[in-house]
């Protein structure tokens, strides 16, 4: 058994020792005897008040000790963890970037059978609680979400890992994904640093469609909507009312700056086009399509002209990606072995435990029992007082006789 806050247990023990000492050092006042008159004083033994070094009210003492110890252990948050127990948490990339082959299905099923909890992330994070849910997941077609962002998945893993630590001494996290560069953003390293241990990465093949392969090594042509409004191939149309926006998520970087959203798609996304940038709320902010042997990139936003936003690393990386042809689009480029190794390793300075009070189920039971005994304590004290009074009356009657 482990104590989350052992200081409360020590404080409860010290308070219990003080209660025991107070019950050991007791004074007992004899019951006063009423005399009829000073002239007729009945004969009797001499009575004095003396300090007694003996336990008094043993039943009341045991009840009070039990209350104090229960409260101390309740606030210490005890939890039972079998020695050497390990819980396994599995994260599975369920986006369209994963090649859904038979080997992938077998790998996911084998890892899920050994896991205590399975999380699938494909833009949102959801839990697969039953084996039938996992079986249905590996058989379903790929979703529309092209990339599975890793940051929300890691945040969900932190929450579920905290729950698993209540019944295991260690929690291991495994991730099944092609680990494409687009699934990482600026917040991913910071969120990963919140997990104190290492991660197990199981790399799978990425899905690369025919359109992506056909566009490899083609020259890139960039069209900004504000400058290409009259272009016949412009896919954007003016919005009824421009509105401010705080950021754009692209395959290369997340751009956080004050933008003006003036354009929207004139018609549903054609089948020969794909979205390469989104406004933070999920609406398309840029698309790419191949026409006449050229990869045309149409952007519905303009970079800020004021301030130093364009000098930030994210904007520099975005500009380099925007106009440079590559053998694969940025979203389809996997991380290098060095980048994956840096991601796997545990942080040099693990985060400190959360100082906020956390509640364990066993603590609630102990606290409830302690409160019940607190309610019984006055009843026992009253019953003992009445018993002493009755005994004193009986003793006084015998003395008069």
pLDDT in tens, 184-203: 887 888 888 888 878 899 98
Neighbours of 156 (CB within 10 A): 18
What pLDDT was estimated at residue 332?
64
Q: Which stretches does DSSP call E strand in 178-306? A: 199-203, 220-224, 236-250, 254-265, 273-279, 284-291, 294-299
> With contact defined as beta carbons under 8 Å apart, do 304 and 310 qualify?
yes
Q: Is residue 355 part of a domain?
A: no
Q: Is residue 113 part of a domain?
A: yes
Q: Is residue 350 part of a domain?
A: no
Half-sphere exposure of 350 (CA within 13 A, CB side): 9
Confidence class for position 268, pLDDT limits 50, 70, 90? confident
In terms of domains, do 237 and 202 share one? no
- Domain span at residue 285 reads 212-332
Mean pLDDT, range 6-18, rounded to an integer: 83
Q: Is residue 354 part of a domain?
A: no
In terms of domains, do 156 and 256 share one? no
Mean pLDDT, range 75-98, rounded to an integer: 79
- Rounded to whole angstroms, the Cα distance separating 223 from 234 reads 8
User: What average pLDDT does the chain have?
Assistant: 79
> With contact defined as beta carbons under 8 Å apart, do 87 and 164 qualify?
yes
In terms of domains, do 43 and 106 share one? no
In terms of domains, do 199 and 228 share one? no
Dihedral sign, Cα of residue 172, residue 177, residue 178, residue 182: negative
Dihedral (Cα; 312, 313, 317, 318), 10-degree rounding: -30
In terms of domains, do 99 and 159 share one? yes
Task: Transcribe 328-357 into DSSP letters.
Answer: S-GGGPBPPHHHHHHHHSPPSSPPPPP-S-
Mean pLDDT, range 262-278, rounded to an integer: 85
Task: Transcribe 367-399 into DSSP letters.
Answer: HHHHHHHHHHHHHHHHHHHHHHHHHHHHHHHHH
The structural domain count of the chain equals: 3
Query: Per residue in 133-148, pLDDT tens?
Result: 999 999 988 776 677 8
Query: Per residue in 378-394, pLDDT tens?
Result: 888 788 777 777 776 67
Note the Cα 154 to chain centre separation in Å: 9
Q: Is residue 351 part of a domain?
A: no
Domain boundary among 290, 312, 332: 332
Q: Is pLDDT at 51 greater than 90 in this prediction?
A: no
In terms of domains, do 340 and 194 share one? yes
In terms of domains, do 231 and 305 share one? yes
Q: pTM score > 0.85 for this model?
A: no
Task: Transcribe 304-329 into DSSP letters.
Answer: --SSSGGGSHHHHHHHHHHH---SS-
Burial of 173-183, coded b for 16+ CB within 10 Å and e otherwise, reads bbbbbbbbbbb
Among the listed residues 332, 157, 184, 314, the one whose alpha carbon sits nearest the alpha carbon of residue 248: 314
Note the Cα 234 to chain centre separation in Å: 44
> With contact defined as beta carbons under 8 Å apart, do 289 and 271 qualify?
no
More confident residue, 107 or 52: 107
- The edge-to-edge listing of strands for the beta sheet with 170-177 is 125-128, 117-121, 86-93, 170-177, 199-203
Mean pLDDT, range 102-125, rounded to an integer: 91
In terms of domains, do 192 and 90 share one? yes
CATH of the domain at 165: 3.40.50.410
Q: Is 97 exposed, middle or buried (0-12, 13-18, 19+ CB in 10 A)?
A: buried
In terms of domains, do 250 and 290 share one? yes
Q: Is residue 353 part of a domain?
A: no
- Percentage, residues of the chain above pLDDT 90: 15
Mean pLDDT, range 128-135, rounded to an integer: 90
In terms of domains, do 255 and 366 share one? no
Query: Per residue in 216-239, pLDDT tens?
Result: 667 888 998 888 778 888 899 999
> With contact defined as beta carbons under 8 Å apart, do 157 and 177 qualify?
no
What pLDDT was estimated at residue 36?
62
In terms of domains, do 91 and 67 share one? no
- The edge-to-edge listing of strands for the beta sheet with 294-299 is 220-224, 294-299, 284-291, 273-279, 236-250, 254-265
- Rounded to whole angstroms, the Cα distance separating 313 from 99 reads 31
- Rounded to whole angstroms, the Cα distance separating 265 from 239 reads 9
Among the listed residues 249, 258, 319, 301, the one whose alpha carbon sits nearest the alpha carbon of residue 279: 249
> With contact defined as beta carbons under 8 Å apart, do 146 and 122 qualify?
no
In terms of domains, do 170 and 268 share one? no
């Amino acid at each position: 058994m482990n104590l989350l806050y052992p200081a409360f247990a020590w404080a409860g023990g010290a308070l219990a020792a003080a209660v025991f000492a107070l019950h050991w050092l007791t004074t007992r006042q004899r019951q006063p005897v009423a005399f009829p008159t000073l002239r007729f004083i009945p004969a009797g033994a001499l009575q004095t008040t003396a300090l007694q070094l003996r336990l008094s009210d043993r039943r009341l003492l045991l009840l009070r000790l039990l209350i104090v110890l229960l409260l101390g252990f309740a606030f210490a948050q005890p939890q039972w963890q079998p020695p050497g127990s390990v819980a396994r948490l599995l994260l599975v990339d369920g986006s369209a970037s994963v090649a859904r082959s038979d080997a992938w299905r077998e790998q996911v099923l084998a890892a899920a059978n050994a896991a205590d909890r399975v999380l699938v992330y494909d833009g949102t994070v959801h839990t697969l609680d039953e084996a039938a849910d996992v079986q249905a997941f590996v058989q379903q077609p790929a979703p529309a979400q092209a990339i599975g962002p890793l940051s929300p998945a890691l945040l969900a893993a932190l929450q579920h890992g905290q729950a698993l630590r209540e019944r295991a001494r260690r929690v291991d996290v495994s991730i099944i994904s092609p680990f494409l560069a687009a699934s990482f953003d600026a917040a991913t390293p910071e969120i990963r640093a919140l997990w104190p241990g290492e991660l197990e990465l199981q790399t799978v093949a990425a899905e690369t469609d025919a359109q992506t392969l056909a566009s490899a090594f083609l020259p890139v042509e960039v069209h900004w909507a504000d400058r290409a409004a009259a272009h016949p191939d412009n896919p954007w149309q003016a919005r009824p009312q421009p509105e401010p926006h705080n950021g754009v998520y692209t395959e290369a970087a997340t751009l956080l700056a004050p933008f003006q959203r003036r354009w929207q798609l004139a018609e549903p996304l054609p089948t020969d086009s794909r979205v390469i940038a989104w406004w933070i709320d999920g609406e398309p902010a840029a698309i790419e399509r191949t026409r006449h042997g050229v990869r045309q990139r149409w952007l519905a936003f303009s970079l800020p002209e004021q301030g130093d936003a364009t000098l930030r690393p994210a904007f520099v990386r975005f500009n380099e990606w925007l106009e440079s042809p590559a053998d694969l689009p940025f979203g389809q480029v996997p991380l290098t072995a060095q980048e994956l190794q840096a991601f796997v390793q545990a942080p040099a300075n693990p985060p400190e435990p959360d100082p906020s009070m956390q509640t364990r189920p066993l603590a609630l039971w102990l606290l409830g029992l302690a409160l019940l005994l607190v309610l019984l304590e006055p009843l026992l004290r009253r019953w003992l007082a009445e018993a002493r009074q009755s005994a004193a009356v009986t003793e006084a009657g015998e003395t008069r006789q």
